[in-house]
Amino acid sequence: MAKIIDSENEGGSYNIQPGHIDTEKHFWDAFSNTETEISARLIVSLCQKKGGWVPFTKEEIDRHTNQNFHFNRLCDSWEPKDERNYVILGEDEKYRVTHEFIAACFKSSPSI
C-alpha cells in the first residue's frame, strides 16, 4: 500500500518538501522513462507553487502546464485510484503524490 503525502495528513511536516527538489533539471533515471520524468517534474513544480504537497485537480495541472497534462505512467488512466500508482486520484477527485513519488524525485534531483 502506497503512503499518500498531502497537506491533510503529514504533508507539512514531511521531511522532503517540494522546494527540496530541483525542477530546473531533468529527473534522470527517476522513473526509467523520459516522458514520465517530465510529468513528475511538472507535478513537483505545481506543488512548489502551491507551497507543499497539496492535493491538486486535473484542471489545476492543466492550467499550470498550459496543456492537456498526461501523467505518463505516474497514474494509471484505467485505474487512477490504484494504490500502486505514484500519484493517486482520491474520492474527492484530487490527485495526491505518494512517498515513493517524492523519494524518486528527490533522489534524482535534490536541491539541498
Rounded alpha-carbon distances, angstroms, from residue 54 to 11, 25, 48, 49, 58: 7, 22, 9, 10, 13
- The span from the CA of 85 to the CA of 73, in Å, is 8
- The span from the CA of 52 to the CA of 96, in Å, is 11
pLDDT of residue 7: 66
Which residues in the chain come in under a pLDDT of 50? Answer: none
pTM: 0.93
Cite the DSSP H helix spans in the chain: 34-50, 58-65, 99-108
- The span from the CA of 95 to the CA of 26, in Å, is 22
pLDDT of residue 102: 97
